[in-house]
Amino acid sequence: MPAAQNLDAPPQPLTLLSDDEALFQSTVRQFARDQIRPYVREMDEAGLFRKDLLAQFFQLGLMGIEIPEEYGGQGGTFFQAVLAVEELSAVDPAAGVIVDVQNTLSINALLRWASAEQKAHYLPRLAADTVGAYALSEAGSGSDAFAMATRAEDRGDHFLITGRKLWITNAAEAGLFLLFANARPDDGYKGITAFLIERDFPGFQVGKKEDKLGIRASSTCELILDGCRVPRENVLGEVGQGYKIAMETLNEGRIAIGAQMIGLARGALHHAVAYAKERKQFGKTIGEFQGVQFELAKMATDLEAARLLVYNAARLKETGRPFAAEAAMAKYFASQIAENAASKAIEVHGGVGFTKDYPVEKLYRDAKIGRIYEGTSNIQLLTIAKKLLGK
């Protein structure tokens, strides 16, 4: 049987979290342990997130953390959203990314760019029962996100959108899609426009669900638009403002992906520590061997450094200071140390770590996506370098 799991967060400097933040963190941690952990393996194997758990996310307010109370949300902070993603991801990174996309991409974009009418119409739904998705990527536009082929034809009071989107997180469950299409192709990226598309709009459908290596309980699907009719009032921001909306939203989302990765790394570390305290070889626990101790110590040090990068980027964002490079650093480093921590956790477990009887092989599979989505590691390095060179 798998070793007993201890997913307590390591001690943190008191200056990092306020009392309210610490209480919020512990509440989400307890929920993740009690309600999500029993179903992690089942959901991973099925490639499906339980509807009852998703309903609990809404009931607890985790799907509307920053939505103002007047719209039915929690009236919380971006930092709280980051904490929630970290805590959920320590148990299941698939759960973490569901909450991440809802809060730091979908809701954040609406809070900043939506009209008063759009906020009144959509924010209460996102707080209550509607999952949001962020649709930017296409087959021919990954890192080159704005080489998109999806077109929006202006028909006066509405647009007709045609194209395909790929790798869209939350797509299977989503009722609202923040989707980017080019309304003025001759203007290049300056024609890209953001649209709010409801699942039942004519000409819109969710296509194939991807069979993925990791975060399998989180849905990733293609979107098909065949003359999808979108009312003009569903343009987010202004026509041609999509590039700015996408870039600024992704900068915020990258901080939360960093949080997902430190949560994953924390889970891997604690599984490794628990096993090292129980597994015996040569008459003593393997945790008594210096070789194992050193690996655990390096994992813990990397984790703490990554956590500080993520928290710093989140604080900068909240205080209105520039944070794009810091967000890139946080995501880049956290995704690196998460992959390494999951790998080392398997090695600490030895042969059993390579089996599905223990949770570390899943974390290893889950970790790989951190270096790919919401901007690959090379894109993060490019962002950091541009700041250093003043470009």
**pLDDT band with cut points at 50, 70 and 90 for residue 230:** very high
What is this structure's pTM? 0.95
Which pLDDT score, from 0 to 100, does residue 144 have?
Answer: 86
Task: For residue range 254-269, list pLDDT tens digits in order.
Answer: 999 999 999 999 999 9
Residue 6 pLDDT exceeds 50: no
Mean pLDDT, rounded, of the chain: 95
Task: For residue range 32-43, list pLDDT tens digits in order.
Answer: 999 999 999 999
Report the sign of the C-alpha dihedral through residues 79, 171, 339, 138, in that order.
Answer: negative
Contact 45, 214 (CB under 8 A): no
CA-based nearest residue to 242, from 178, 171, 287: 178
What is the rounded distance in angstroms from the CA atom of residue 275 to the CA atom of residue 252? 36
**pLDDT band with cut points at 50, 70 and 90 for residue 14:** very low
What is the rounded distance in angstroms from the CA atom of residue 335 to the CA atom of residue 327? 12
CATH superfamily of 244-389: Butyryl-CoA Dehydrogenase, subunit A, domain 3 (1.20.140.10)
The domain limits of the chain are 14-131, 133-243, 244-389
- Match 């089996």 to its residue by tokens: 355
**pLDDT band with cut points at 50, 70 and 90 for residue 3:** very low
Percent over 70 (pLDDT), the chain: 96
Which pLDDT score, from 0 to 100, does residue 8 have?
Answer: 57
Three-state secondary structure call for residue 387: helix
Contact 190, 240 (CB under 8 A): yes
Task: For residue range 198-217, list pLDDT tens digits in order.
Answer: 999 999 999 999 999 999 99
**pLDDT band with cut points at 50, 70 and 90 for residue 238:** very high
Which pLDDT score, from 0 to 100, does residue 10 have?
Answer: 52
Residue 147 pLDDT exceeds 90: no
- Residue range 168-182: mean pLDDT, rounded: 98
Residue 18 pLDDT exceeds 80: yes
What is the rounded distance in angstroms from the CA atom of residue 223 to the CA atom of residue 166? 6
DSSP secondary structure code for residue 8 in this structure: P
Catalytic residue among 252, 326, 339, 374: 374
Residue 1 pLDDT exceeds 60: no
Fold match, 14-131 / 133-243: no
**CATH 1.10.10.10 is the classification of domain 133-243:** no
**pLDDT band with cut points at 50, 70 and 90 for residue 167:** very high
Cβ neighbours of 347 (radius 10 Å) = 13
| Residue 374 annotated in active site | yes
Contact 343, 364 (CB under 8 A): yes
What is the CATH architecture of 14-131? Orthogonal Bundle (1.10)
Buried b (16+ CB within 10 A) or exposed e, 355-387: eeebbbbbbbbbbbbbbebbbbbebbeebbeee
Task: For residue range 43-98, list pLDDT tens digits in order.
Answer: 999 999 999 999 999 999 999 999 999 999 999 999 999 999 999 999 999 999 99
- Residue range 315-341: mean pLDDT, rounded: 97
